[in-house]
Chains A and B, each alone.
Chain A
């Protein structure tokens, strides 16, 4: 009979993948299909740790940041990063745990921020203590999440995504225009949101009279919030509710028929995610001292999804890491002072990580090519080497002495840019040695385009890179860095 003697437990597949009597081939080769290598071992070791240990490792060192970082600007970045990490983990509840496409999530964040503002600012002259304001905002956000989730009863998948996305747009439009709402029976109009100007008189948070005044305070508050929210969501995910969400993500119909109230679970996912977003929104408003509609737009949504997808939807750790790395990278890329460092660092890391031993040869080739082109240009068309300085750092100085630097870049910048895109796409079609050889001029062109076109406006260039990264990531590894490859029935 197939599959072993009823008395003994079947032997687990050992490391030697060979056909064995009583074990079918597919099962016998399970070891082959498991990923090995240091990353997987690290992830497995991490998974064994107790929740408290994980939180300690993640949050502990971060708590010392205020003592290490002296600039206000970077402290602000740290606070925002921590808050975005909480947001990403909250989004992960609906998207990663329950498999629902909530494209309107940022609206809950914005709602939380504005709701807190209404309760604790000069706008309506209410100055609630945070101990009352925050729970109110959280409950209100959860209720809003519930309402937005109601369409999920009739709409699935793409249509749900569409409706939630449009909720975000409606929300944004309201923020921009709700400064003149006419209510019947009242004279004049009510100014809810002060339109594009936002509200800039938000009170600092105070708990029982103790006021949070400095960025450091807000940073620690954000860290505590992160620990509490992540801890709670982790525990929830490892419970009966989390199992039901995962079942719902796998196959909603089968889940419903296996006693799980799918509609209720969807609403729960929406509400909890919204509550987390609302909480984060209130802290955001308080530490900023102001709220503007532009903080809650599609760009943030795409960034949040980038965090979640990069980290691997469903994995809390992955999402948190994704949030921190991408947000910090985006911040670094914002100004010319740092942009080139990040760009060349990322480029080198990518080259070495992908090519490994051949990286040296390729890099050498690029450097040589650069010098040759420079020499040729100086002889034939000197205007191609006399362009003015574009970058601001010593790295830029160094590179600009080596790469071609046309004076009149405006005439060919679009040609070079499109050429680079075409070259990269063509490169994907090549194989083997030809690909390696072609990599040299293409990478040179990339440096050329960066140094001549992109570095001038790094705040825009970073979004170009984010977009490209998302596309590449989806093609190469749709489950993200920390996700497990999922088996789907198409």
Chain B
């Protein structure tokens, strides 16, 4: 048993998985509250990555940053979270809210339209070439900790820890805060929640903001780990994050977290042990299998329809 490979793959899987989990949370939160599959979420992630890149360049770029590196990274992430959050709010306001009472297919099409719009807008403004975060210049690629013979780059640790921290923060918010209670109530029964004095529109807006902000953060984190971003990344990562959310049970927050890590590890192990060519295929097939066995996902709650 080759431990170094296993540890390397596990590290990769967890890093990637934590990012997928962040993206998955956005999908789950929005679905839980609106029963809407927000196909535009992946593009929000991508925009977050680009905002981070923009801030990076604004502050001098990787070669000659004007502020200390860790401050730079924090500012990039904060800006991306803010920008992505606002974008999510705008999307909700203009593309989804008018369709609250429309047939189910309408918000789906609208979401696809927004996704198309965002992806191609970024393409036309910034071109198809990869944009670099140049993380190797920013942070010494050899700095890190030793884990069983493998050198784990510090950025991967930072990404993993930040992602987990954000998820724990979200979990605490949903569990213990008033907003969290309002969110849970709204996702159970929107009408009843509004009759109990909860401002449902505001709760929805805040849900979108938080979910989108997490995706924006994920965008910056991905840029840092892989050093490169481009306009098409929203599609791939969005898809994986979506898969993670559905496998975990869409609407369930712990499910999204678990699903993300699960997908990340599955992808890493497939790429390492089977074939990197078929890693996507394996991940997608996993989804189909899980859904056929447990139609509401691993942690999902089956909705009971009263006849």
Chains A and B come from one and the same complex: yes
Binding site for B on A (CB under 8 A): 95, 101, 151, 154-155, 157-159, 161-163, 166-167, 169-170, 173-174, 177, 253, 298, 302, 305-306, 309, 313, 413-414, 417, 425, 428, 453-454, 457, 460-461, 463-464, 466-471, 474-475, 478, 486, 488, 490
Q: Answer whether residue B295 sits at the interface, using C-beta atoms and an 8 A cutoff.
A: yes
Partner of B281, one of A170, A313, A471: A170
Closest 10 A-B residue pairs measured CB to CB?
A: A470-B113, A467-B117, A467-B116, A478-B106, A474-B110, A475-B98, A471-B113, A478-B102, A463-B120, A467-B113
Interface residues of B in 10-48 (CB under 8 A from A): 31, 35, 37
From residue B225, how far is it (CB to closest CB) to chain A in Å? Answer: 23
Cβ–Cβ < 8 Å partners of B295 in chain A? 154-155, 159
- Give the A-B pair count, Cβ closer than 8 A: 133
Cβ–Cβ < 8 Å partners of A170 in chain B? 281, 284-285, 288
> Closest chain B residue to A468 by CB distance?
B117
| A173 and B284 in contact, given A305-B112, A475-B99 (Cβ under 8 angstroms) | yes
Partner of B284, one of A95, A151, A169, A298: A169
State the CA gap A453–B126 with chains docked (Å). Answer: 11
From residue A366, how far is it (CB to closest CB) to chain B in Å? Answer: 23
State the CA gap A164–B124 with chains docked (Å). Answer: 30
Interface residues of B in 105-121 (CB under 8 A from A): 105-110, 112-118, 120-121
State the CA gap A463–B70 with chains docked (Å). Answer: 39
State the CA gap A154–B295 with chains docked (Å). Answer: 7
**Are B116's CB and A474's CB within 8 A?**
no
> Closest chain B residue to A176 by CB distance?
B277
State the CA gap A50–B246 with chains docked (Å). Answer: 47
Cβ–Cβ < 8 Å partners of A161 in chain B? 37, 108
| A302 and B116 in contact, given A101-B105, A159-B295, A464-B124 (Cβ under 8 angstroms) | yes
Cβ–Cβ < 8 Å partners of B139 in chain A? none
Q: Answer whether residue B291 sits at the interface, using C-beta atoms and an 8 A cutoff.
A: yes
**Are B246's CB and A463's CB within 8 A?**
no
**Are B291's CB and A309's CB within 8 A?**
no
**Are B125's CB and A453's CB within 8 A?**
yes
Cβ–Cβ < 8 Å partners of A173 in chain B? 278, 280-281, 284
Cβ–Cβ < 8 Å partners of B98 in chain A? 474-475
> Closest chain B residue to A253 by CB distance?
B307
> Closest chain B residue to A422 by CB distance?
B90
Partner of A460, one of B94, B107, B123: B123
**Are A490's CB and B101's CB within 8 A?**
yes
Cβ–Cβ < 8 Å partners of B287 in chain A? 162-163, 166
State the CA gap A490–B126 with chains docked (Å). Answer: 42
Chain B interface, >50% SS class:
helix
**Are B120's CB and A163's CB within 8 A?**
no
The listed residue with most B CB atoms (<10 A of its CB), out of A306, A313, A454, A460, is A460
**Are A101's CB and B288's CB within 8 A?**
no
Q: Answer whether residue B7 sits at the interface, using C-beta atoms and an 8 A cutoff.
A: no
Q: Answer whether residue B104 sits at the interface, using C-beta atoms and an 8 A cutoff.
A: yes
Q: Answer whether residue B103 sits at the interface, using C-beta atoms and an 8 A cutoff.
A: yes
**Are A305's CB and B103's CB within 8 A?**
no
Q: Answer whether residue B73 sits at the interface, using C-beta atoms and an 8 A cutoff.
A: no
> Closest chain B residue to A103 by CB distance?
B108
Q: Answer whether residue B193 sits at the interface, using C-beta atoms and an 8 A cutoff.
A: no
* Cβ contacts A to B, 22 pairs, < 8 Å: A155-B291, A159-B246, A162-B246, A166-B288, A167-B288, A169-B280, A170-B285, A173-B278, A298-B235, A414-B126, A417-B121, A417-B125, A453-B124, A464-B120, A467-B113, A467-B115, A467-B120, A468-B113, A470-B110, A475-B99, A488-B101, A488-B102
Cβ–Cβ < 8 Å partners of B185 in chain A? none
Cβ–Cβ < 8 Å partners of B108 in chain A? 101, 161
State the CA gap A302–B108 with chains docked (Å). Answer: 11
Partner of A313, one of B105, B280, B307: B105
| A162 and B291 in contact, given A471-B110, A474-B109 (Cβ under 8 angstroms) | yes
**Are B284's CB and A425's CB within 8 A?**
no
Cβ–Cβ < 8 Å partners of A414 in chain B? 125-126
From residue B296, how far is it (CB to closest CB) to chain A in Å? Answer: 8
| A309 and B94 in contact, given A151-B292, A417-B125, A471-B117 (Cβ under 8 angstroms) | no
Q: Answer whether residue B138 sits at the interface, using C-beta atoms and an 8 A cutoff.
A: no
The listed residue with most A CB atoms (<10 A of its CB), out of B95, B117, B287, is B117
State the CA gap A486–B101 with chains docked (Å). Answer: 11
Cβ–Cβ < 8 Å partners of B291 in chain A? 151, 155, 159, 162-163
